[in-house]
Amino acid sequence: MDRARRAWYLPGVSKKKPVLGDEQGLAFEDALAEIEAIIDRIESGKVGLEQSIAEYERGAKLVKRCREVLQRAELRVQELTGSMPGASGRSDSSSPPDEADDAAGVR
């Protein structure tokens, strides 16, 4: 991700030092911004090996948190679209698309 896009994530992020183990309470956007900040610090070469390893470990935990949030969001969207009037209610994505899906460009 280039620096211009990274900067988009950073403005609202708290500048306080994060506490290890607080990933579960972090909002997706804050976790993503922190991952970007970690990448910047490691890529800058201004942190030592041990600090880089600690930063990498923190980043891995944040990535896991982001994936969990995205999975929950995806499930929620599937639930919502499945409960909409006229929705097919199909939860098995391996089933063949119907003609309406083809017409709408959905695969």
pLDDT band at 10 (very low <50, low <70, confident <90, very high): very low
How many whole angstroms separate alpha carbon 79 and alpha carbon 73? Answer: 10
Q: Which domains does the chain have, with CATH numbers?
A: 3-83 (1.10.287)
Q: How confident is the model at residue 83 (pLDDT cuts 50, 70, 90)?
A: confident
Which region, left, alpha or beta, applies to residue 55 given φ > 0 means left and ψ of -120 to 50 means alpha? Answer: alpha
Q: Is the pLDDT of residue 48 over 70?
A: yes
Specify whether the CB–CB gap between 64 and 32 falls below 8 A.
no
Entry pTM: 0.58
Mean pLDDT check: name the lowest of 6-20, 30-44, 48-62, 70-84. 6-20
Residue 62: closest CA among 23, 10, 20, 92: 23
Residue 43, token pair as written in the block:
């890529």
pLDDT band at 23; cut points 50, 70, 90: confident
In eight-state DSSP terms, residue 24 is G
62 residue type, one letter: L
